[in-house]
A and B are shown apart, each in its own frame.
Chain A
C-alpha cells in the first residue's frame, strides 16, 4: 500500500473511496428547488451584459426566466439553439471571467447569479429526459468533411446536419470529444458526460464519425476537398511546447495534457501513478487542471511554477483559488532552468524572473525543488498547417472561419482569433456552419 509520502512516482496513494470523493463534481448540480431560488435572483436585464459576454450569445435572462416559471426544457432550448454543447459549457466555462463576471448582481452584491449552474440544470433536465429538441431540415445532398471531433467540429457538424447536409467527422483519436473528452479536469465532467453529450448530439442524424483518421496521417486536404462539398478543420493544437531546460528528457518529465488525458480515460484511478513531489510548469487552465488532479490523486507536494506574476496568469482567479484550496502551491516569477536526477527526475532547478519592461529575464538567483514528476503545461501548438496560410502559429481565418483556401473553413483552437475555450470553439463551429450552409446553398 502506497501513501502520499511514498517516494517516486506511484499508484494507489489514496484509497478508492478517497479518490471517488476527490474527483466528484466540482460544482454539484442544482436540484429543482435550488434552481428556482437561484433563478429568482436574475433581474432580467435589458440587453443583458451576461449575454454580451457569452461567446455564443445565449439569451441568459430568458432561459433563467424559463427556469423560474417551471419550464427548464424551454430554457434548455434557448441555450442549445445558440450553443449545442451548452451542457458541457455549463460545466467547464470560466463563467467567473465571462457571464458571471459582468452580472449586475456581481456589481451590486459581489455575488452573481449562478448562471453556469442554472444552465447545467436546464440542459441536464432536457438531456436526462432523452429529448433532442432539434430536427433536420430536408436533406440537401451536400456533404461536408469536418476534421476533428472536438467542440468546434461537433458544433459545426450539428448545425450543418440541422440544415440538411450530410457530415462526416474525421477524428484522430479513438474516441470523439476532443478536449471535452481528453483535456478537461475530471471533476468538471463527471459520469462520462462528454461521451453522453455526443451521443445526445448525434440524435440529430446525418453525422458520421470516423475515428483514427488524422490529417497528415492518411487524410489530406486535397482529397477531402475532392470528395466533399466543403471542409471544416477543427484539429485543435496537438503539439506541446518544450521547456527548453536542461534535463528535459529525464524520466518523469511529461506533458500535462497527456496526464490529464490518461486520468480522464482511466477506469480505475487507484492504478494511475503520480509523483510524491509534482511540479507543473505553466500558468494556464491546463497547468491548474494537472496540478489539482495530481494533488487529488494523492501527491504529497504539488507546485505550479509560473514565470510571470499572478495578473498575467491564464488561469482565472477562481482557478487559482481552487488550486490553493486543494493544497497546490503556486510559485510566481519562476522559470525552469534544469531538471536534475540520475535518469529519472528528482529535482527541478528554477530561476526567479523579472519583467524588465522589454521582456522577461532571469535574475540569476536559482533554487531547487524536489520533483519526481514534472508536467509541462506551457502551451500547445498546431501540428499541421495543411498547406494553409498560418497566422501566429494558427490557421489564419477571416470572417466566419474562412481559411486562405476557398471551400475550407477552420475553427476552434487551431484557428486564429478568439480565446482557446470550449465555448469559443462552439461559437466558431456554429458560425462557420452557417457560412458553409450559405455558401453551399448559393447564398454566401
Chain B
C-alpha cells in the first residue's frame, strides 16, 4: 500500500487530507473526532481578535443547490468566524495538538488589518504548539463588510503587508488563504509570495445567492424576510478552484510556491486531480459537512489504490505532474482531429446525444427508425457534447484520427505535425511557420 505521508511546508501528516477551516473544525470535540476518523490535519475554525466574540445570525446559515436524488452539489454559508472566546479556542488547540502530535494542526486567523492586532494574537497562537497559521483573506460575507476576509484578499498590497507582519511575529509556516472573488488569481498569489508566505491555500468561498424563495421573494437562506450573499463551496466550485490552482502553479512568478488545494474535494479522485495540478495537499469541508468525517476513509483507500496501480510510492511523485500540460488556448494543436464514436452495444437508445447534437450542436448524429444513433463523421466537429450528455459512461468516446487519414468534414488530410493558432493563416497576427 502506497505511503500517503504528507510533508507540506515541513508539517508532517499521515495523509494529505486536511479539514479546512470551517464549522467542522470549530472546537475540540469535532477535531478529536476528525482525527480519530483518520484526517491527516485540521485547519482550526478562524480565530478573531481578543474581546467579545462575533455573533452569528440565529436564522439559517446555509443555502444549497442539488443534483439528482437531492445530492448536494453546492453549499453556501453566511456563518462568520468562530463565535467562541479566543482563549477557549487556544486552550483547546493546545490540548488537541498535544494529544495528536502526528497530525497537522493549523490556526486560521482573521483580525483587523493593523499591525498591532496581528502582533497581539500571533504569540498566543504560537504558544498553542500549532504547526502553522493560515491567514483568512477569503471569506466573502459578513467579515468583509468590516474590512477583513476577502476585503483584504482583494487588495494585493494588503496581502503582502499582513503576510510580512506574520512572518515578523510568528516563527512557523504562514499560509495565505486566497479569495476567488477577484479577476485574476495570480495577483494576490504573487503578493502573498512577495510578503514571504510559505504557501497559499485556495479557494475560499465564492460570493453567491443559491436560490430565491419565490413565495416571499427573498434570497435564501432567508433571515426574517431578507437574505445576503454567502460563500459558495462544494462539488460545484471544483472546476473554478482547479483552474485557479493551476494558474498559480504555472505562473512564472509563483511557480514552486506550495499550494494547499481547496474547493469541492469530495473523493480521492478530486484530491488526486488538485494535486496533479500542483497542490501539495488538499483541504476538505463540504464533503465532510454532507457525509460526515468517515469519508476520509474512502479518500485514503482510493488514493492509495490509485497510487499503487500507477506505481507511485509517495505523493510527491505526482504532485504537479499535470501542470506542464496546462497551456493557453493558442498553443493547442489544431491538427489533433477526433470524431465521436458510439458503442452500439453500450448504447441504451435514450437519444440524448441526438437531441443535443441536432438541436444545439452540429447535426452530426443520425437516428434510424429503430433508434440506432450513429455519428456522421462528415459533420462531427468533435465538440464532445454527446459524450457529456450520454448517461452511460464510456458509451460515446472521442477517437483520434490517424495522421494521413482524410477528415471527411473538411476534406483535408490529417497532418502529423503539431500546429497551433499562432501560426494559423487565419490569424491576422500569425507568425510565419518555421
Q: Measuring CB to CB, which residues of chain A are less than 8 angstroms from any residue of chain B?
A: 36-37, 40-41, 43-49, 104-105, 107-108
Q: Across the interface, which residues of A come within 8 angstroms of B371, CB to CB?
A: 47, 49
A86 to chain B, nearest CB (A): 24
Q: Across the interface, which residues of A come within 8 angstroms of B355, CB to CB?
A: 46
Q: Are B68 and A46 in contact (CB under 8 A)?
A: no
A102 to chain B, nearest CB (A): 9
- In angstroms, Cα B70 to Cα A36, docked, is 9
- B353 (CB) vs chain A CBs: closest residue: A46
B302 at interface by CB-CB < 8 Å: no
B65 at interface by CB-CB < 8 Å: no
- B371 (CB) vs chain A CBs: closest residue: A49
Q: List residues 329-375 of chain B with CB under 8 A from any CB of chain A.
A: 348-352, 354-355, 367, 371
Q: Are B351 and A108 in contact (CB under 8 A)?
A: no
Q: Are A44 and B352 in contact (CB under 8 A)?
A: yes
Q: Across the interface, which residues of A come within 8 angstroms of B367, CB to CB?
A: 46-47
B155 at interface by CB-CB < 8 Å: no
- In angstroms, Cα B392 to Cα A391, docked, is 47
Q: Are A45 and B69 in contact (CB under 8 A)?
A: no
Please pick, from B68, B69, B70, B391, the residue contacting A108 in the complex, using a CB distance under 8 A.
B391
Q: Are B351 and A47 in contact (CB under 8 A)?
A: yes
Count of B interface residues, CB-CB < 8 Å: 14
Q: Are B349 and A49 in contact (CB under 8 A)?
A: yes
B167 to chain A, nearest CB (A): 51
Q: Across the interface, which residues of B come within 8 angstroms of A45, CB to CB?
A: 349-352
Q: Are A108 and B354 in contact (CB under 8 A)?
A: no
Q: What are 10 residue pairs bridging A and B, where the CB atoms are less than 8 Å apart in the complex?
A: A40-B68, A40-B69, A45-B350, A45-B351, A46-B350, A46-B352, A46-B355, A46-B367, A47-B351, A108-B391
Q: Across the interface, which residues of B come within 8 angstroms of A40, CB to CB?
A: 68-69
B169 to chain A, nearest CB (A): 53
4 further contact pairs, Cβ within 8 A, besides A45-B350, A48-B351? A45-B352, A46-B351, A46-B355, A104-B348
B367 to chain A, nearest CB (A): 8
Given contacts A43-B391, A49-B371, contact A104 B350 (CB under 8 A): yes
Q: Are A107 and B69 in contact (CB under 8 A)?
A: no
Q: Across the interface, which residues of A come within 8 angstroms of B392, CB to CB?
A: 108
B214 to chain A, nearest CB (A): 11
A48 to chain B, nearest CB (A): 8
Question: Residues 363-405 of chain B: 1 if any A CB is under 8 Å from the residue's CB, otherwise 0?
Answer: 0000100010000000000000000000110000000000000
Task: Give the top 7 A-B pairs by smallest Cβ distance, nearest first.
Answer: A46-B351, A46-B355, A40-B68, A104-B348, A45-B350, A108-B348, A107-B348
- In angstroms, Cα B391 to Cα A49, docked, is 16
Q: Are B349 and A104 in contact (CB under 8 A)?
A: yes
* Residue among B350, B367, B391, B392 facing the most chain A CB atoms (10 A cut-off): B350
- In angstroms, Cα B349 to Cα A43, docked, is 11
Given contacts A40-B68, A49-B371, contact A107 B349 (CB under 8 A): yes
- In angstroms, Cα B352 to Cα A48, docked, is 10
Q: Across the interface, which residues of A come within 8 angstroms of B351, CB to CB?
A: 45-48
Q: Across the interface, which residues of B come within 8 angstroms of A43, CB to CB?
A: 350, 352, 391
Q: Across the interface, which residues of A come within 8 angstroms of B354, CB to CB?
A: 46
A114 to chain B, nearest CB (A): 14
Q: Across the interface, which residues of B come within 8 angstroms of A49, CB to CB?
A: 349, 371
Q: Are A37 and B69 in contact (CB under 8 A)?
A: yes
- In angstroms, Cα B349 to Cα A107, docked, is 9
Q: Across the interface, which residues of A come within 8 angstroms of B350, CB to CB?
A: 43, 45-46, 104
- B359 (CB) vs chain A CBs: closest residue: A46
- B358 (CB) vs chain A CBs: closest residue: A46
B392 to chain A, nearest CB (A): 7
Q: Across the interface, which residues of B come within 8 angstroms of A107, CB to CB?
A: 348-349
Q: Across the interface, which residues of B come within 8 angstroms of A47, CB to CB?
A: 351, 367, 371
- In angstroms, Cα B351 to Cα A43, docked, is 9
Q: Across the interface, which residues of A come within 8 angstroms of B349, CB to CB?
A: 45, 49, 104, 107
Q: Across the interface, which residues of B come within 8 angstroms of A37, CB to CB?
A: 69-70
- In angstroms, Cα B290 to Cα A214, docked, is 65
B178 to chain A, nearest CB (A): 36
Q: Across the interface, which residues of B come within 8 angstroms of A105, CB to CB?
A: 348
- B355 (CB) vs chain A CBs: closest residue: A46
- In angstroms, Cα B391 to Cα A108, docked, is 10
A267 to chain B, nearest CB (A): 43
- In angstroms, Cα B348 to Cα A45, docked, is 10
- A46 (CB) vs chain B CBs: closest residue: B351
- B71 (CB) vs chain A CBs: closest residue: A40
- B354 (CB) vs chain A CBs: closest residue: A46
Q: List residues 137-173 of chain B with CB under 8 A from any CB of chain A.
A: none
Q: Across the interface, which residues of B come within 8 angstroms of A44, CB to CB?
A: 352
- In angstroms, Cα B352 to Cα A44, docked, is 8
- In angstroms, Cα B348 to Cα A49, docked, is 11
- In angstroms, Cα B211 to Cα A13, docked, is 58
- In angstroms, Cα B355 to Cα A275, docked, is 57
- In angstroms, Cα B371 to Cα A46, docked, is 10
Q: List residues 292-349 of chain B with CB under 8 A from any CB of chain A.
A: 348-349
A215 to chain B, nearest CB (A): 42
* Residue among A36, A37, A43, A48 facing the most chain B CB atoms (10 A cut-off): A43
- In angstroms, Cα B186 to Cα A365, docked, is 90
- In angstroms, Cα B350 to Cα A46, docked, is 6
A67 to chain B, nearest CB (A): 13
B98 to chain A, nearest CB (A): 47
- In angstroms, Cα B369 to Cα A49, docked, is 11
- A68 (CB) vs chain B CBs: closest residue: B68
- In angstroms, Cα B351 to Cα A256, docked, is 44
Question: Residues 55-95 of chain B: 1 if any A CB is under 8 Å from the residue's CB, otherwise 0?
Answer: 00000000000001110000000000000000000000000
A376 to chain B, nearest CB (A): 41
- In angstroms, Cα B367 to Cα A383, docked, is 47
* Residue among B348, B355, B391 facing the most chain A CB atoms (10 A cut-off): B348
- In angstroms, Cα B70 to Cα A104, docked, is 22
- B373 (CB) vs chain A CBs: closest residue: A46
A203 to chain B, nearest CB (A): 29
B115 to chain A, nearest CB (A): 54
Q: Across the interface, which residues of B come within 8 angstroms of A108, CB to CB?
A: 348, 391-392
- In angstroms, Cα B350 to Cα A49, docked, is 8
Q: Across the interface, which residues of A come within 8 angstroms of B69, CB to CB?
A: 37, 40
- In angstroms, Cα B349 to Cα A44, docked, is 12
A38 to chain B, nearest CB (A): 10
- In angstroms, Cα B8 to Cα A382, docked, is 85
Q: Across the interface, which residues of A come within 8 angstroms of B348, CB to CB?
A: 104-105, 107-108
- In angstroms, Cα B274 to Cα A391, docked, is 72
- A43 (CB) vs chain B CBs: closest residue: B350
- B346 (CB) vs chain A CBs: closest residue: A108
- A61 (CB) vs chain B CBs: closest residue: B350
Q: Across the interface, which residues of A come within 8 angstroms of B68, CB to CB?
A: 40-41
